[in-house]
Structure 1
Amino acid sequence: MVNASEPSITPAQVRAARAWLNWNQDYLARKAGLSKTTLNRFEQGLSILNSETSGRLRKTLEEAGIQFQFRKMLATGISIVNLSSEP
C-alpha cells in the first residue's frame, strides 16, 4: 500500500528503473503481480495506477535496489542503491 504522504512514482521513473535493471516489461509485470498491459499503459502515460498497484510496483523496484528521488513531492529521478543479480 502506498503511503498518502509519499509522492507517486512516475512512468518515466519506472522506465528508467527498468532500464537500469535491464528488465523488460514482461519481467517487471510478473515480479510485481501486474498484467503487462497495465504496466505498458502506465509507462506510456495512458493510465493511472491505483494505490495498491502502484505500491506493488514501487516495492518490487525498491527491493531490486532502485531508490526513487523526489523534491517537494515532484519526481526528479532514480538512484541505484544496490542492484540485484536478477535479469
Structure 2
Amino acid sequence: MVDDKPRGARKPLTAQQVRTARAWLGIDQGQLAEAVGLSRRTIASFELGSGLAYESTTDKLRVGLEALGVEFAYEDGSPVGILVRPSARSGSTRKS
C-alpha cells in the first residue's frame, strides 16, 4: 500500500529507502543534496544511520525525492520500500 501523504503521525523514512531511491534515479549523494537543499555530508550521515536525523532533514528528503518521482511504500505504518514513476528514470535527473 502506498500512502500519498503521511496522515497524523509522520511516517518513518529509512536510510535504505533513500539509498534505493537514489540508485533507481541514477543520482549520487551530491546530486540529491543539491536537489533537496541539504549538504552531501548530511545525506551521507543519514544513509549511514549515524545519529538521529532532524525532522526537517527527513522532510526535505521526502519532499525532494517525491518531486523526483519517488513514492514511499508503507504497510501497517512501517516502511516496506519505494516505487519510482517510469518517467523519473528518463535521465533528466542526471548531470551531464
Deviation at 1:30, TM superposition (A): 1.2
Matches for 1:1-87 after TM superposition, within 5 Å? 5-81=9-85, 82-83=87-88, 85-87=92-94
Percent identical: 35
In structure 2, the gaps of 5 or more residues are 1-5
Amino acid at match of 1:57: L
Q: TM-score if structure 2 supplies the norm length?
A: 0.81
Q: Which has the larger radius of gyration?
A: 2
Structure 1 runs (4+) deviating above 3 angstroms are none
Aligned partners of 1:76, 1:39: CA distance in 2, in Å? 20
Shift of the 78–50 alpha-carbon distance from structure 1 to 2, 3 Å rule, reads: same
- Count of residues paired in the alignment: 86
Aligned partners of 2:72, 2:59: CA distance in 1, in Å? 13
